[in-house]
Structure 1
Amino acid sequence: MCATVPQQVYRFEDELKSFPFPEKSSRRLGRVMGFREHRIADAKTTPCDLASYTMNCLFHQGRLRKEKMQAMIVVAQMADHPVPGNSKVIHGQLDLPTDVFCTDIYENCIGFLSGLYTACCHVAAGAVDEVILITTDGGACYANKLDRNTYPLCGDAAAVTVVSRSDNPEDVIHFVFRTDGSRREALLTPAGGCRMPATAETAKMVRDEMGNYRSLNNMYMDGTAVFQFVMERVPPLIDEICRYAGIEKTAVQYHLTHQPNRFMLEKLADLMRVPREILFNNIVEHFGNSSCVTIPVNIAYNLGARLLDEQPLVCCSAFGAGLSLAAAVCRLGRMDFCELIEHPGNGTIAYPV
């Protein structure tokens, strides 16, 4: 596994004056939520650029070989172009062989687990022995800089996870997915799709009842509704995945969750009755919420080199737009490579030699 974040750091302290609120209240919110700094790619760097740079790092390290690649799954909610999909753009950027199977999954916060499940299905079906799973996002472009509800927590990132066939029958990943589409309007971007195409009208900013500014082209989040959904639905989901995997919840050594903000994750750990120190909550304050990439960033940043030798029992969980939920339990570790690297910017895909 290799995760990449932009080199450029944006600090909450420097952004305070942009929000239409007293600085004192913004500082208080920042302390509670864990807003400190986030990584946002420059205008010339796309989600595909972040992903291709990460792949080139693995090629350079000798962790992957182009001629050995069989399949590549790319998960994102942002695309370099409406057509073709990101997987084809990355394929061209990397000059991959023409027989590599490439496909795209449009997904957001649960995207890493959706992609991992899909990769496992390909391997389990016997079609391939190895799948390259790429998760990448540029979610910050959905947020308005005047919206204190979303902008301080957004970040950009990419990750490559190599999923290979194992001969050990105990190497099993258990998955559970849940969706409640009736609550979809609690987290959405209203304009920009077929239902409401982006126009000059949808780009007009308005002030909401809380004082934030956004347009219909920007992401809207009902924070209270999303918080309630997570608090109500995630703890039972964790109990369910542990029963399904045939383990006691106390046997889980780390809870590797999607990273919305520190406050939500602290409350979630308490409701789940697990120690806060095994449910990491520090990704938003260092890098921002990169949607489908937060779990790989979480893994690489908080566990990193330890996973080269250790193999802890972990529970990965995610929740977000849809509204949707996902969880997975497995032994994670004894990896060949697990690092967090930085992208230098300016749209480069070439890893330095």
Structure 2
Amino acid sequence: MKRFGAGVVVTGCGSSAPVARLDNEGLSQIVETSDEWIASRTGIRNRHIAIAQETVQSLATEASQKALEMAGVAPEEVDLIILATSTPDDLFGTACQIQTALDASKAVAFDLTAACSGFVFGMVTAAQFIRTGTYRTILLIGADVLSRWTDWSDRRTCVLFGDGAGAVVLQASDTTDALLGFELRSDGSLNGCLNLAYQSESKSLNGEVSVETGTFHPITMNGQEVYRFAVRRVPEVIEKALFWADMTVEQVDWLLLHQANQRILDAVGDRLKIPHHKIISNMAKYGNTSAASIPLALDEWVRAGKIQPGQVIASAGFGAGLTWGSAIFRWGQSAE
């Protein structure tokens, strides 16, 4: 994909998850389900659940510190912090709290909401700031605490979600560009398939003027529709991103999808003819962590020595909105 200014390189990653775990056996004591039922349909066996002291800010800060350490970047060198989240601690935004916790006093900070596609959308957004020469060092975080908004009496959804955070450091390079291609999509006509909606109630102020008050209600999802959407649209958007990168599927070293359902990962891999040993999956341990799922899995595979510097990763996020997108990038090239 043609660039006009500096190139983008990915120089560090980190992740964090709550200490408390809820496995399928424990979940079966809450709702009528079983380990066999959940694992056979989703691939999930465990999820991490945040306690009161664990927040999006605390999880994101820990993941960010690890990413900055790997990249060899001091907090004061960060120009911009982008937090991809759908579950902020404060509806006005949580990124600024992370900036303060990191002591990244020179960084601009803002939240970005694109649900489970948030990390991919955030990577593409960050790249534009670097390619135009506006910023040279960006901290991109995906973090969600979905347990806050899960209906724990609904076995169709409560078996899926967990909490966590992941982060990467993106830096400018004058000699190379590791973001090889991308494609982003949205379709609001499908919003009803997956949402976390605000529901209001009318409250009279003085008998003449009324205001709408209320709260967000738990996650609702049409699982079959989301599955059909994902297995059809995700391969298409990856192929389009590969086209912009002037690459073929055979040149991809790793397929890194949003960790929603193992059946989706396998179906997308099959449609793209990507061998299963190239498909990154850690959802058995974490469940669906929304915007955190891609950087969480990336960090695990990097720290395990599976992903090597220079290898090509085809990533894709998909979820509420509905939104979906793909970014093709090389891992671990140094900034110049």
Which TM-score applies when normalising by structure 1? 0.82
Q: How far apart are residue 307 of structure 1 and its match?
A: 6.8
Q: Report the Cα distance in structure 1 between the residues aligned to 2:107 and 2:321, rounded to whole angstroms.
A: 31
Matched residue, 1:92: 100
Unaligned runs of 5+ in 1: 200-215, 337-353
For 2:26, the aligned partner's letter is D
Say whether 1:39 aligns with 2:48: yes
Q: Does 1:157 align with 2:164?
A: yes
> Using the alignment, how far apart are the partners of 1:71 and 1:179 within structure 2?
25
RMSD: 2.4
- Paired residue type of 1:253: D
> Retained in 2: the 8 A contact 1:308–1:334?
no
How far did 1:328 drift? Answer: 1.0
Alignment of 1:66 with 2:65, yes or no, is no
Q: Which amino acid aligns with 2:138?
A: V
**Mapped partners of 1:316, 1:55: distance in 2:** 20
Separation in 1, partners of 2:71, 2:243: 39
User: Which letter does structure 2 place at the counterpart of 1:311?
Assistant: G
Which shifted more, 2-11 or 169-178?
A: 169-178
What is the CA–CA distance in structure 2 between the aligned matches of 1:33 and 1:164, rounded to whole Å? Answer: 36
Q: Answer whether contact 2:44 2:160 (CA < 8 A) is retained.
A: yes
5 Å matches for 1:134-213?
A: 134-191=141-198, 197-198=213-214
Q: CA offsets, 1:235-285, max 9 Å, x none?
A: 22222222221111111111111010112212222222221121123x221
Between 323-332 and 218-227, report the one with greater CA deviation: 323-332
Deviates more, 1:256-265 or 1:29-38: 29-38
CA apart distance, 1:193: 7.4
CA distance in 2, matches of 1:230, 1:308: 25
Number of the residue aligned with 2:85:
76
C-alpha contact 1:191 1:197 (8 A) present in aligned 2: no
Q: Counterparts of 1:275 and 1:60 in 2: how far apart (Å)?
A: 33
- Where structure 2 has 5 or more consecutive residues not aligned to the other structure, the ranges are 1-12, 203-211
Corresponding residue to 1:52 among 41, 55, 61: 61
Alignment map for 1:114-125 (pairs within 5 Å): 114-125=121-132
Q: Secondary structure at the match of 2:52?
A: coil
In structure 2, relative to structure 1, the CA distance for the partners of 1:279 and 1:45 (3 Å cut) is same
CA distance in 2, matches of 1:193, 1:304: 45
Q: What's 1:279 paired with?
A: 279
1:334 Cα deviation from its structure 2 partner: 4.4
Quote the offset at 1:15 in angstroms: 1.2
Shift of 1:3: 1.0
Distance, in Å, in 1 between the alignment partners of 2:40 and 2:189 is: 33
Change (3 A) 1:227 1:96: same
The structural deviation recorded for 1:94 is 3.1
Alpha-carbon displacement from aligned partner over 1:172-213 (angstroms, at most 9, x marks no partner): 4311011111001000023357998536xxxxxxxxxxxxxx
1:308, 1:333 within 8 Å by CA — same for their partners in 2? no
Moved more, 236-245 or 87-96: 87-96
Match of 1:206 in 2: none
Letter in 2 for 1:69: V
C-alpha change, 1:162 and 1:56, in structure 2 (3 Å) is: closer
Counterpart residue type for residue 227 of structure 2: F
* 1:16 paired residue among 3, 18, 28: 28
